[in-house]
A and B are shown apart, each in its own frame.
Chain A
Amino acid sequence: MPPRRRSRSSTGPRGSTRVLVAPSPPSPLPEGEGEELLSWFRAQGWTPFPFQLEAWAAYARGQSGLIHVPTGAGKTYAAYIGPLAEVARHRQKGLQILYVTPLRAVSRDIELALNAPLSALDADITVESRTGDTSSSVRRRQRERLPEVLITTPESLSLLLCNERAHELFASLRCVIVDEWHELLGSKRGTQVELALARLRRFSPALRTWALSATLANLDEAARAAVGPHVTPAFIRAGLDRPVRVETLLPDSVDAFPWAGHLGFSMLRKVADWLDPERSTLLFTNTRSQAERWYEGLRFLHPEWEDILALHHGSIDREARERVEGGLKDGSVRLVVATSSLDLGVDFGPVERVVQVASPKGIARTLQRAGRSAHRPGATAQLLFVPTHALELVEMSAAREALAHGEVEPRAPLRQPLDVLAQHLVTCALGGGFTRDALLAEVRDTLAYQQLSEEDFDRTLVLVTEGGPTLRAYPQFRRVQRLEDRYVVADTRVARLHRLNVGTIASNASVELRYLKGARLGTVEESFVSRLRPGDTFLFAGKRLEFRLMKDLTAYVRAAKERASATPRWSGGRLPLSGSLATAVRRTFHAVRHGHFDNAELEAARPVLEAQARLSRLPSRDACLAELCQTREGHHLFLYPFEGRLVHEGLAALLALRLTRLQKATFSLAVNDYGLELLTSSPFPFEEALRPALFTRERLVEDILESVNLGELARRQFRDVARVAGLVLPGLPGARKSTRQVQASAGLLYDVFARYEPDHLLLAQARREVLEQHFEQVRLVSTLERLEGTPLECVHVPRPTPLGFPLVVERIGATVSNESLAERVERMKERWLREDSLSA
């Protein structure tokens, strides 16, 4: 751990404040140990904030609840000191405080913060971490006896629940603190934590739960997901809202063509000029490949920044990432290009400024990233937007307006994901076994499964015990076994595979990246490596590498002499435009259509916006813009509802299905945050087809399901579902040899199930997730209502417009067709012939 910079010494680990003159109310902490902790607090130069005192008092009253204060305001100690005082007082051994963090990388920092106050106490209390990085000897020791305070991740917590003696290990637990709850909420990891918490409440009935969260639109729901549906949560808030100042770095000029507003790296030099190594800065991008390219670009422009400029993203080897984080803290690294890998956790202290490259995609995320700067209560957070595309200027203008109105998004917790339940059932069967009725009651003690029907519970139970529907169970199937009325796991192979598979983080098949000499660089997706040939060069972790060979799930490389020709692309992590921001963007376009170029961003985007108006129209709030166009590729329909890529993905499949009913066709689909494109090789009467009836909400669910069957959506969604439910095994090192014969791609499994068991529980789950996530059903219904009720502005355009061009570039590879395979291949061949005769 490097020494902290001088300016940080007064704010301490995971900060509190140094100035507070208000007279302290009476201490809510117990006498003795509480006083010792309080005087330790003061010895650090801090006075407890009112919200901290409030949290300690609520804990002492036996309450559970939610603490939501801005990052860096001292929420860790607000949640920790109360239970710590209690632990010190009772002098019991064994696990009493559990601290759950979504990021294992920060567990070491948390360990330091939780250890610090122990110096004031004359008590034998141990603080330890248990994450994927914990050594096997420590794990072994912890399997016998856990420390009094344990820091862990959701995945490692589930693994602990697989321990046969889980009941004993957790019996003495007093308090669970869940950090960054807003990050977990709304994902299957959040559901996994909800289930784990319900189990812990049963092991230790007096357990109190405290969740720590940033601002959300649905705090009440967030709190109830943490404490369970049968407890009334306490809310602790700080009233320390930090002012945020957002500016946009404007391009010198915006060309309307040929790249339709693509700014590329013209902004790079401006950013390089703006950066100042004297003022430490985080530069956030939205994707890892973007981070690689910006890092490379900055290094090219400023070779002298070699030692103070660093790159940080989730695929880079952990040790390299930790060096960057350490450098940020001790001030030796001044400029870091990062992805969401630095959104959370680590307290950087000295970071002064934050840059957001490309669209921020959401308001909460903008706040979170801005909050990374000037990490001090009361200080102003500073954020600089850098557009990479002229249209992003519109988004940035809209985002500033939405920020000013405090339009933060909600994060809805998931309801009843049965794949997570299936995994949890196996976990509980391993962790000492269970009986049906007791576990059903326990599972219903979560917000996620509060309404779970007995039927769904039993079907999930049958899935893990018998493998298939009751009447045609597979005789050789072994997973969970029933011994009298207890469900247990008896097969060691099943136990081992389950432990390797615990967790709900969706990950694509990845391979390790190493130098031929052996040093590890990180991971890349298998699909990227599979496209490389020996000798191909690419950029990774800021290094130019030459691919040599692929062996045992490892890609071997050596340093490349020439410039890199490719950057790995990581799928996933592409956030859709949030509802709040999408609405703001529609408002902004509407204003511009009526000539209101009200700020510098819109003024700068004027050439592109005017080109759009000239070639076609600017989108209005009272009508939906549609563009028709014919190119060498075929016949295009562009539609711009501005509802975010997820809703568009659903809408595109739905419209394609309804259009194929009018005339046999094959459509390929493209979507982005602004709209969608349907492309077909043969002429299609789009204009006649675009009637209000096309957008009807009648038979919506049926049509969605049909289009989902036709399309690729459910198939893709099934990948995650199958992984979580344990049908597809991750390619983990060490597991390879023994599992090779049971590896199958999720796509293949999907095809088999769809054919032989169309009602399979997990297919239904995948479909439901598509409905809820891809179609954001609620948002889709309101979108259809809007499209049905408002006129379509249908414009024939000679070529893709500035709004349409990005769609042409971003085709997603999904197709909807009602032609036979043979018909499609024949048509492909005809087309190829035509192309050949043209080029000949």
Chain B
Amino acid sequence: MELRPERALYWPEGGVLAVADLHWGKPESFHQHGIPLPPEVLEDDLARLSAALHATGARRLLLVGDLVHSRRGLTPEVVRRVADWRTGHDVEMVLVRGNHDRHLDALPAAWRMELLEPHLDEGPFRFAHHPEPARGHYVWAGHLHPTVRLSSGADRLRLPCFHLGTDVGVLPAFSAFTGGMDIRPRAGERLFAIAGDSVVEVPSQRASRNA
């Protein structure tokens, strides 16, 4: 498996690129409550997704839940912008439903995405939104938006990360406009932080609790 700095996971044997927690339409949800936010977040996230697709040559894109932030945020404008982006990508796209997607009856037809729930099993792996272990499969999930706090001497950082346990691996939130949950790994778990253009393994005992 390839852990990619675009906040994506690539499985070369299956030709699958997996990402989680995209939260499309989040700024638009805020707008309707009178909170102004720049909507360009979406363009940046789409561009990063395109970059990951091109770099890997993936045949399938798996969206592991929380694709759409809220029903209200799915404005005609957002639908159109994603549809425009979709025309440039001739790969199969599948959404495994997450908790934020529960209000969706169907995805916009122009997005040409299949909607699945509660999970998708492929070879040795299960792709699901919620990180729950499954018998016979290693689970790749999202939902938690894992981040890691690092400190050394004077320096302190908080970075999104992949959190790999023995049964479940959690992907970082794909959207740049999301908060995170600081991870303190247990024995046997591994953390891979996203530091700009590279992915760096962090010794698990170095993930500080409140740096």
Report A's interface with B, CB cutoff 8 A. Answer: 463-464, 466-468, 474-479, 491, 493-494, 497-498, 531, 633-634, 666-668, 679-681, 726-727, 739, 741-742, 744-745, 748-749, 751-753, 755-757, 813, 815, 817, 820-822, 824-829, 831-832
Contacts and interface: CB of A to CB of B under 8 A. Distances in A.
B154 A634 contact: yes
Contacts of A474: 27-28, 31, 36, 39
B155 A824 contact: yes
Given A822-B200, A825-B195, A825-B200, A756 B40 contact: yes
Interface stretch (B86-94, B114-122, B164-172, B202-210): B202-210
B36 A468 contact: yes
Contacts of B39: 474
Nearest to B196: A821
A680 B40 contact: no
A831 to B, nearest CB: 5
A476 B155 contact: no
- Most B-side CB within 10 Å, residue of A491, A494, A755, A825: A825
Nearest to B193: A825
Interface stretch (B10-18, B55-63, B69-77, B127-135): B69-77
Contacts of B151: 828
B30 interface: yes
Nearest to A480: B34
A749 B69 CA distance: 16
Contacts of B193: 825
A666 B154 contact: yes
The B interface is mostly helix, strand or loop, or mixed, namely loop
B32 A832 contact: no
B41 A756 contact: yes
B196 A822 contact: yes
Nearest to A828: B152
B32 to A, nearest CB: 5
A678 to B, nearest CB: 9
Contacts of A491: 34
Contacts of A681: 152-155
Given A756-B41, A822-B198, 18 more contacts: A467-B31, A468-B38, A474-B28, A476-B28, A476-B32, A478-B33, A478-B34, A494-B33, A726-B34, A741-B70, A745-B179, A748-B178, A752-B176, A824-B155, A824-B157, A825-B159, A825-B193, A826-B200
A822 B38 contact: no
A832 B152 contact: yes
Contacts of B30: 742, 744
Contacts of A680: 154
B35 interface: yes
Interface in B1-49: 27-41
A34 B37 CA distance: 58
Given A497-B33, A726-B34, A832-B206, A748 B154 contact: no
A48 B28 CA distance: 63
Contacts of B27: 474, 752
18 contacts: A474-B28, A475-B77, A476-B32, A477-B31, A477-B36, A478-B34, A633-B153, A634-B154, A744-B30, A748-B177, A748-B178, A752-B27, A755-B38, A757-B38, A822-B200, A824-B195, A825-B150, A828-B155
Contacts of B32: 476-478, 493
Nearest to A745: B179
Nearest to B100: A741
B31 A478 contact: yes
A804 to B, nearest CB: 15
A668 B75 CA distance: 44
B105 interface: no
Given A634-B153, A681-B155, A827-B152, A821 B33 contact: no
Contacts of A476: 28, 31-32, 75
Given A821-B159, A832-B203, A667 B33 contact: no
Interface string B140-158: 0000000000111111110
Contacts of A494: 33-34
Size range of the interface on B?
35 or more
For the complex of A and B, 4 pairs with smallest distance between CB atoms: A467-B36, A479-B34, A756-B38, A668-B154
Contacts of B198: 822
Nearest to B203: A832
A305 to B, nearest CB: 36
B29 A742 contact: yes
Nearest to B198: A822
A824 B34 CA distance: 39
A491 B72 CA distance: 15
Contact of B179 (A726, A744, A756): A744
Contact of B35 (A742, A748, A825): A742
Contacts of A468: 36, 38
A752 B155 contact: no
B200 A829 contact: yes
A820 B154 CA distance: 15
B33 A742 contact: yes
Contacts of B33: 478, 493-494, 497, 739, 742
A669 B161 CA distance: 26
B150 to A, nearest CB: 6
Contacts of B77: 475
A475 B78 CA distance: 11
A679 B153 contact: yes
Contacts of B176: 751-752
Contacts of A744: 30, 177, 179
Contacts of A824: 155, 157, 195
B12 to A, nearest CB: 24
Nearest to A753: B38
Nearest to A738: B33
Contacts of A820: 195-196
B34 A477 contact: yes
A534 to B, nearest CB: 15
A752 B41 contact: yes
A659 B154 CA distance: 16
B148 to A, nearest CB: 10
Contacts of B28: 474, 476
Contacts of A742: 29-30, 33, 35
A585 B210 CA distance: 35
Contacts of B202: 825, 829
Contacts of B40: 756
A726 B36 CA distance: 10
A666 B157 CA distance: 11
B34 A679 contact: no
Nearest to A824: B155
A245 to B, nearest CB: 44
- Most A-side CB within 10 Å, residue of B69, B77, B196, B211: B196
A604 to B, nearest CB: 35
A813 B156 contact: yes
A815 B203 CA distance: 22
A755 B113 CA distance: 30
A752 B26 CA distance: 12
A824 B202 CA distance: 12
A553 B34 CA distance: 24
- Most B-side CB within 10 Å, residue of A679, A820, A832: A832
Contacts of B69: 741
A510 B91 CA distance: 46
B156 A668 contact: yes
Contacts of A667: 154
Contacts of B154: 633-634, 666-668, 679-681, 815
- Most A-side CB within 10 Å, residue of B37, B69, B176, B203: B37
A817 B155 contact: yes
Contacts of A749: 37
B90 to A, nearest CB: 30
Contact of A825 (B31, B41, B157, B209): B157
Contact of B75 (A467, A475, A756, A821): A475
A681 B155 CA distance: 8
